[in-house]
Amino acid sequence: MKRIPALLFLPAALLLAEVVASCSPDKKKAHYPFQPVSFTQVHVSDAFWSPRLEAARQVTIPLAFSKCEETGRYDNFVKAADQMHSSENKGYRVGGYSFDDTDVYKTIEGASYLLQTHPDPRLVAYIDSVLDIVAAAQEPDGYLYTARTMNPRRPHSWAGTKRWEKVEDLSHEFYNLGHMVEGAVAHYQATGSRKFLDIAIRYADCVCREIGPQEGQTARVPGHQIAEMALAKLYTVTGDAKYLQQARFFLDQRGRTEARSAYNQSHRPILEQDEAVGHAVRAMYMYSGIADVAALTGDTAYIAAIDRIWDNIVSKKLYLTGGVGATSRGEAFGRNYELPNASAYCETCAAIGNVYLNERLFLLHGQSKYIDVLERTLYNGLISGVSLDGGRFFYPNPLASHGGYQRQAWFGCACCPSNICRFLPSLPGYVYARRDNDLYVNLFMGGEAEIDLKSTKVGIQQQTTYPWGAFTDITVNPQKEVRFKLKIRIPGWIKNQPVPSDLYHYSDGLTPSWSVCLNGEMLADSPRSDADGYYSIDRRWKKGDVVSLYFDMPVRRVQANDQVLADQGLTAVECGPLVYCAEQCDNALDVLNCQLSPTSVFKQRDLYFHQSATDQALWESDTDEVDLQGKGYRLLEIDTQAFVPDHPEQTTTLRLIPYFAWAHRQTGPMTVWLK
């Protein structure tokens, strides 16, 4: 049987180059009101994020490709092609999960994002060889689902006896389509090759022909959503309106077919929904699809529906870390204000979905509050799902632990590792946005970008100490001297609003300051931002203009709304966009039962994460012995005085680390919320 060679490569040093595909559609199409600046136009060079992206390139994606080979993901396509071209039933046993094909698609997607900053002919050739076996497994009419094709007489037990029979339940045929399209679009944009895109278009066309309201078609909705947002993306790339119409059909029919369950949000039509319920990953993908259709069509009913659901999430169902999904029962949202800590599920995939939703709502409304939620999720509950070295993963991300959690190298159901594979390399596409002659700076991340505005092309360079430090310089380099508006997001946390609702609030009475300078001259010192949450500079720009930002970053105390029973009487600690936690291995006292003094004085200290000679992760404060570029990872330690419950007259030092970095050393208790 044909084998794909193991991916044991990706060299450490490669030439930087931008591989930009021409994505000009042949047909007129609608756009988002606010448009993202593509990942192909942004290059990240950042003290915080570059090591993450390098770990994805060197470790995570090679690991995922090797697991696809090791676990038979590729073999499934080979078997499907073999069976399809045979006049006899080969009798292949169909095992694994009905969505195993998506691990291949997701890993190609992540690798494609990386190719725009690290072009690698060997990686391109490897992906092409994988796409050869994927294409060979596609049936003549475009259908591509190895769990049926490799043995039509005895397909996967979740697949049903014929196409689409169980797609509203467990077959995942539409889910596979969604991830295929997402991967294919990324591959096309990064390389200019249509090889994967044409495979995805053929499958999408098959679905559009067979699923719909017309005579001879079948009315079905996805049992696991993602096809909705993927089809909307395919529309934005091709300009073919049938893909947007298909996405809308899937959404309009929800709650109107045989599927009627809150678990997959089919309990009622979407325009009647006003609360986030059910399986959190399915929900966030579907809500992202609603936001896509709302933004691309301007449908006011869709806009009202997704605004209601988002408001329910951020005001009643969002964890302080940006995670969503309170319970392991169905990997689901809980009731309003049901946010337990030790049993919190907060699946990594759901955090990724939360980023997708808030990005799309920004593209619809252009308000900074959506990026505030995105940033909170990104820096906390999302990257906690992958180890600093890129090789181990969390499925759930609880806010407290008695010591039973460790990241794993892989899972039988590998949705979280492969989702991390595809998400992290896409990060450059979230930094900037534009609308006509307005340029939005949404995330503070070192690097460079080339951005097309209505009047000219503008080069942007960021240098920043974010999230550890207070300073960011933005150098503006327009091709010609021209007037446009630079809009800089002023984070909610510096305006004393942890999240855009009353779900959490700062309880320390502090008022952090911030300021903006232009070419060394003060423009604003703690002014008010605009109604949309941005500070706008509308002027005639010339090459070399520098905007300097200062955001004060004191250590903050956070409390939850009193209706969150799990957090009553507790406080959490933040600094800038980062949530902190206490791990037992840093502290002599019991972190789950210590009592934080109301008069504690917080001290900040620079620490470094590195590997010891025994390959055990450590925190070290002796910076003279740490080569930050070679083996270091800069972190922040916070010391505070805490009461020891059995001896209230005694105090001891309580040490906290960023939540995303927990569980890298000894297995033991951890908590975000402190008494």
**Residue 624 CB-density burial (10 A; 0-12 exposed, 13-18 middle, 19+ buried):** exposed
| Mean pLDDT within 79-95 | 96
25 vs 366, residue with greater confidence: 366
The set of long-range contacts for 437-442, using a CB threshold of 8 Å and a minimum separation of 24, is: 437/483, 437/484, 437/485, 438/484, 438/485, 438/487, 439/484, 439/485, 439/486, 439/487, 440/34, 440/366, 440/487, 440/489, 440/534, 441/474, 441/486, 441/487, 441/488, 441/489, 442/362, 442/368, 442/371, 442/489
| Position 13 pLDDT exceeds 80 | no
| Position 251 pLDDT exceeds 90 | yes
Look at residue 547 in the predicted model and tell me its pLDDT. 98
Tell me, yes or no, if 346 is annotated catalytic: no
Q: Is residue 38 within 8 Å of 452, Cβ to Cβ?
A: no
Q: Is residue 607 within 8 Å of 586, Cβ to Cβ?
A: no
- Quote the CA–CA distance of 422 and 416 in Å, as a whole number: 10
> What does the angle CA 293 – CA 296 – CA 333 come to, to the nearest 5 degrees?
30
| Position 42 pLDDT exceeds 80 | yes
Percent of all residues in the chain with a pLDDT value above 90, rounded to a whole number: 81
Percent of all residues in the chain with a pLDDT value above 70, rounded to a whole number: 91
User: pLDDT tier at 610 (50, 70, 90 boundaries)?
Assistant: low
pLDDT tens, 631-660? 345 566 777 777 777 776 667 788 899 999
User: pLDDT tier at 617 (50, 70, 90 boundaries)?
Assistant: low
Tell me, yes or no, if 275 is annotated catalytic: no
| Position 661 pLDDT exceeds 50 | yes
Mean pLDDT, rounded, of the chain: 90
pLDDT tens, 382-424? 999 999 999 999 999 999 999 989 999 988 888 999 999 999 9
Q: Which one of 206, 208, 415, 585 is the catalytic residue?
A: 415
| Position 3 pLDDT exceeds 60 | no
In angstroms, what CA-CA distances link 473 with 318, 442, 576, 601, 606?
32, 14, 17, 31, 22
| Position 29 pLDDT exceeds 80 | no
Look at residue 15 in the predicted model and tell me its pLDDT. 26
| Position 95 pLDDT exceeds 60 | yes
Local structure of 580: helix, strand or coil? strand
**Which of 253-257, 284-288, 608-612, 623-627 has the weakest average pLDDT?**
623-627
| Mean pLDDT within 654-672 | 92
- Quote the CA–CA distance of 664 and 383 in Å, as a whole number: 13
| Position 19 pLDDT exceeds 50 | no
Look at residue 644 in the predicted model and tell me its pLDDT. 72
37 alpha-carbon distance from chain centroid: 16
Q: Which one of 109, 168, 331, 375 is the catalytic residue?
A: 331
Q: Is residue 514 within 8 Å of 496, Cβ to Cβ?
A: no
3-state secondary structure string, 486-507? EEEECCHHHHCCCCCCCCEEEC
| 459 phi/psi in degrees, rounded to 5 | -90, 135
DSSP string, 118-185: S--HHHHHHHHHHHHHHHHTS-TTS---HHHHT-SSS--TTT-SSTTTTTTTT--HHHHHHHHHHHHH
User: pLDDT tier at 4 (50, 70, 90 boundaries)?
Assistant: very low
Look at residue 343 in the predicted model and tell me its pLDDT. 97
Q: Which residue in 189, 208, 509, 532 sits closest to 372, CA to CA?
A: 532
Please provide the size of the chain in residues. 675
Look at residue 116 in the predicted model and tell me its pLDDT. 85
User: pLDDT tier at 608 (50, 70, 90 boundaries)?
Assistant: low
CA atoms 163, 167, 171, 177: torsion sign: positive
pLDDT tens, 426-479? 999 999 999 999 999 999 999 999 999 998 999 999 999 999 889 999 999 999
657 vs 14, residue with greater confidence: 657
| Mean pLDDT within 275-298 | 98
The amino acid at residue 36 is: P
Look at residue 527 in the predicted model and tell me its pLDDT. 66
pTM tops 0.85, yes or no: yes
